[in-house]
Amino acid sequence: MIHIIQLFWDWITQSANWSGDDGIPNRLAEHLWYSGLALLIAAAIGLPLGLLTGHTGRGGFLAVSLANFGRALPTLGILVLVVLLYGVGLGPVLTALILLAVPPILVNTYEGVRGVDADMKDAAKGMGMTGRQVLFKVEVPAALPLILLGLRTAAIQIVATATVAAYVSLGGLGRYIFDGFQRQDYPMVVGGSVLVVLLAVIVSLGFLALRRLVVPLGVRHREKAV
């Protein structure tokens, strides 16, 4: 452990590692760019589908099965296959990242919306709310903790898979791991690995903070009571 910390410190304090295409700022920016884009698109697909299936109660079984199937898919295999079939580049890799990130978003949104107390929905309808109002004013706020959990799971998975994607010649922090491995430069491998760990932890903490910010007080209290 101490050895790892020392290797990391020595590597990260070398000024050569902070400039150019292969510098930490550029690699980090690449990693954030792929990951952010993939998460955005996966959310744009998963959230509406989850809201729809959860609100109507239809297609739920399909959503859950899809999520289970998604978990079983080996990321390395998917990445390698996609690149072999469609060539090296951002497009194919991004598709793989999105493919793996949609299921957790979809299924958590579905479970969240579906799990909203029936009495609450009845009360909302009784107050004269339309279906759309029930969804956005009652179901979504009540389901927010689970929706955010799904987004967080997807984000963690994307950051991890984007690292593996360096194996198929993508940029990002994973480059240090694979280039270091090939050059038998273990300090470089450690540098990349620790940076990826730190990034994943920061992303995860970011979602916890977001949850504190956006989840309504009433929902938070109910959650504690259970």
Which residues here bind another protein, judged by CB under 8 A?
3-4, 7, 68-69, 71-78, 80-81, 83-87, 156, 159-160, 163-164, 167-168, 174, 177-178, 181, 186, 189-190, 192-194, 196-197, 200-201, 203-204
Place of tokens 């010649």: 169
Residue 35 CB, shortest distance to another protein, in Å, is 11
Closest to 5 measured CA to CA, from 200, 198, 205, 203: 198
Residue 199 CB, shortest distance to another protein, in Å, is 9
In 3-state terms, the chain is what percent helix, strand and coil (to 5)? 85, 0, 15
Residue number, 134 or 173, with CB nearest to another protein: 173
Region label for 100, one of left (φ > 0), alpha (ψ between -120 and 50) or beta (otherwise): alpha
Name the packing angle between helices 90-114 and 60-72 (round to 10°): 140
d(CA 33, CA 127): 44
CB 170 within 8 A of CB 148: no
Residue 159 CB, shortest distance to another protein, in Å, is 7
Residue number, 5 or 44, with CB nearest to another protein: 5
Residue number, 42 or 155, with CB nearest to another protein: 155
Residue 86 CB, shortest distance to another protein, in Å, is 7
Structure tokens at 150: 């799904």
Residue number, 48 or 77, with CB nearest to another protein: 77
Residue 94 CB, shortest distance to another protein, in Å, is 17
